[in-house]
Amino acid sequence: MMKKICCSLFAAILATSCGVSSKMSNHAETGVSALNIQTTLHYLASDELLGRDSGKEGNVKAANYLTHALEKYGIQPYFDTYEDHLDTVENTWNVVGVIPGQDPVLKKELVVLGAHYDHIGIQPPVKGDSIANGANDNASGVSILLELARNLAQKDVKRTVVVCFFTAEELGLFGSKHLATRLKEEKANVVLMLNFEMLGVPMQRAYTTFITGYDQSNLATKINEIAGENLTGRFEEAESMQLFKRSDNYPFYLAYKIPSQTFSSSDFENFKYYHHVKDEAHLMDVTFMTELTKKFVPVVEKLINLPSGEIRLKNEE
């Protein structure tokens, strides 16, 4: 039997997330909103979406929610529509928007910001609960990226920013593989890819997030220099766990041989419900997520606007 929903709480969530809340829909709102982050997190991780399994009804609802949010924030589709349909998995698609660059030269270069919105759906029941809601993995990353994108859309960025909500990551990175291949075939000049994954809880470390592929580029050093603090660091187990190859940054690295890395704050010590039915929204630290997003906004904006060549693979140094 699937878990019961607290009707009053769920009604409150739906009141603010039917489409997108009235506060979220105002793309002129300045600053990072905890309400926006919480609303997206709770909707994507709600029982209504049944774990957002690729190709299933809940996955489609999540995609429609994200499309509507981008529309409300004035972020236009990158392609003719927001829907980047996969060839390998039926009835599922990446949601892709664009924030046009303003520099006459640098606007031809693309910075891709990504997070996967799919999860693993219905699982064998644990104490009557069979919905793998995927709050940390990866409603958290999606919620942060959506609020980050809303803020970036209000700024005059030099390079063009492609905002990607990937599907079918859990099936084998199919969504990001599809988009990276499509952009490469269309000769899009992608110069940097930042991916946001499992950012719902803080770590007890000397840095706020870790970045996969830490030793492959100078990205972490540059980020901390811009932030004026240890916003990201090297997770000692990342290499042995092959985390660099296990999220949506990797297809862009393969296609473009550019700095293409994932931010995470889940070191597998601070959250024990990875791919578990207990990965639920009420366990996420929205205050931490909000403060992290506030730090990401100016840092990512400056990364987008850096002179060419400042972020590079270490084998190019």
- What is the 3-state secondary structure of the chain? CCCCCCHHHHHHHHHHHCCCCHHHHCCCCCCCCHHHHHHHHHHHCCHHHHHHECCCHHHHHHHHHHHHHHHHCCCEECCCCCEEECCCCCCCEEEEEEECCCCCCHHHEEEEEEEECCECCEEEEECCEEECCCHHHHHHHHHHHHHHHHHHCCCCCCCEEEEEEECCCCCCCHHHHHHHHHHHHCCCEEEEEEEECCCCCCCCCCCCEEECCHHHECHHHHHHHHHCCCCEECCCCCCCCCHHHCCCCHHHHHHHCCCEEEEECCCCCCCCCCCCCCCCHHHCCHHHHHHHHHHHHHHHHHHHHCCCCCCCEHHHC
Instruction: Look at the block and give the residue holding tokens 């905890």.
Output: 34
227's tokens: 């932030």
pLDDT of residue 1: 33
Spatial distance between the Cα atoms of 113 and 110, rounded to a whole number of angstroms: 10
For residues 66-76, give the mean pLDDT: 98
The pLDDT confidence band at residue 19, using thresholds 50, 70 and 90, is very low
pLDDT(15) > 50: no
Specify the pairing of strand 83-85 against strand 109-116.
unpaired
Spatial distance between the Cα atoms of 118 and 285, rounded to a whole number of angstroms: 20
pLDDT of residue 30: 75
Specify the pairing of strand 189-196 against strand 122-126.
unpaired
Nearest partner of 274 among 143, 144, 137, 167, judged by Cα: 137
pLDDT of residue 18: 42
Backbone angles phi, psi at 283, to 5 degrees: -90, -5
Spatial distance between the Cα atoms of 86 and 92, rounded to a whole number of angstroms: 7
pLDDT of residue 69: 98
pLDDT(300) > 70: yes
For residues 113-137, give the mean pLDDT: 98
pLDDT tens for 138-161 read 999 999 999 999 999 999 999 999
For residues 6-23, give the mean pLDDT: 38
Residue type, 103: D
Give how far the C-alpha of residue 277 lies from the chain's centroid of Cα atoms, to the nearest Å. Answer: 21
pLDDT of residue 6: 38
Spatial distance between the Cα atoms of 150 and 14, rounded to a whole number of angstroms: 21
176's tokens: 């990001």
pLDDT tens for 167-212 read 999 999 999 999 999 999 999 999 999 999 999 999 999 999 999 9
Check if the beta carbon of residue 94 is closer than 8 Å to that of residue 70: no
Residue type, 283: L
